[in-house]
């Protein structure tokens, strides 16, 4: 085993990761009514054909980030059995759930945040990649602002100023019809579905994510 677990530089404070993840969800739902995201109680997951990731916020500032990429997570398939990603894990983690994923070859990495830092279990020397970056491919905007800007551009929103205004609306919790339509108007080409179908869906997601403007009723044009 490696002596000191290393934490990827991509991982930042969980509340900032959550804010960026919320923006990623709203980018997706303004382009399609079927996003790859799932929202639970202070938990947000992204799934794709090769795996995915989950960010879960807990009380007292604690958080968990876990996931897998089936092609790149050496922790899952390189050894005789999956690496025990719950080794040295604190008691407050949902051990039963995570143990089932780990032993079922469905967990490539597990990081927990407490006392202002990320930590993980030690890895065997043969692990070169736990799949963190690959599992977020296409959704790396969760990690930093530059990648988030790339996520806007990849979705066809290449007006940087409009994207930055939308990010500020999300941060302020004031997403409404106007904010969504301004973002949609900035697209380089129309979305695959009529705006009339996308705006109500995006408003619903904004409300569920806690960033919808509650000061005035939202309405579509």
pLDDT tens per residue, range 103-161: 999 999 999 999 999 999 999 999 999 999 999 988 899 999 999 999 999 999 999 99
> What residue spans of the chain are helical by DSSP H?
14-29, 74-77, 95-103, 132-135, 145-154, 160-172, 177-185, 195-208
Q: Which residue has the tokens 């977020």?
A: 136
Q: Number of C-alpha atoms within 13 angstroms, CB side, residue 27?
A: 27
pLDDT exceeds cutoff 60 at 216: no
Res. 214 pLDDT band, cuts 50 70 90:
confident
Contact between 181 and 203 under an 8 Å Cβ cutoff? The reply is no
Instruction: Say how far apart CA 200 and CA 180 lie, in whole Å.
Output: 10
pTM to 2 decimal places? 0.90
Give CA angle at 149 (166, 204), nearest 5°: 40
Contact between 69 and 131 under an 8 Å Cβ cutoff? The reply is yes
| Non-local CB neighbours of 12 within 8 Å, separated by 6+ positions | 143, 144
Q: How large is the C-alpha radius of gyration of the chain? A: 19
pLDDT exceeds cutoff 60 at 61: yes
Strand partners, 113: 63, 118
Return phi, psi of residue 126, to 5°. -75, -10
């Amino acid at each position: 085993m490696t002596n000191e677990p290393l934490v990827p530089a991509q991982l930042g404070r969980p509340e900032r990761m959550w804010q960026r993840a919320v923006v990623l969800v709203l980018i997706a739902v303004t382009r399609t009514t079927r996003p790859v995201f799932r929202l639970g109680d202070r938990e947000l997951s992204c799934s794709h054909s090769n795996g995915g990731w989950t960010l879960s916020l807990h009380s007292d500032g604690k958080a968990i980030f876990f996931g897998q990429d089936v092609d790149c997570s050496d922790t899952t398939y390189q050894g005789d059995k999956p690496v025990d990603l719950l080794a040295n894990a604190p008691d407050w983690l949902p051990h039963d759930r995570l143990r089932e994923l780990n032993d079922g070859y469905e967990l490539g990495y597990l990081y927990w945040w407490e006392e202002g830092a990320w930590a993980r279990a030690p890895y065997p020397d043969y692990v070169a990649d736990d799949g963190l970056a690959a599992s977020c491919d296409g959704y790396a905007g969760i990690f930093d602002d530059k990648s988030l800007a790339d996520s806007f551009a990849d979705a066809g929103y290449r007006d940087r100023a409009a994207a930055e205004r939308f990010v500020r609306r999300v941060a302020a919790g004031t997403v409404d019809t106007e904010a969504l339509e301004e973002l949609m108007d900035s697209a380089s080409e129309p979305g695959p579905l009529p705006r009339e179908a996308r705006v109500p869906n995006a408003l619903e997601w904004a409300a569920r994510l806690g960033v919808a403007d509650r000061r005035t009723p939202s309405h579509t044009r």
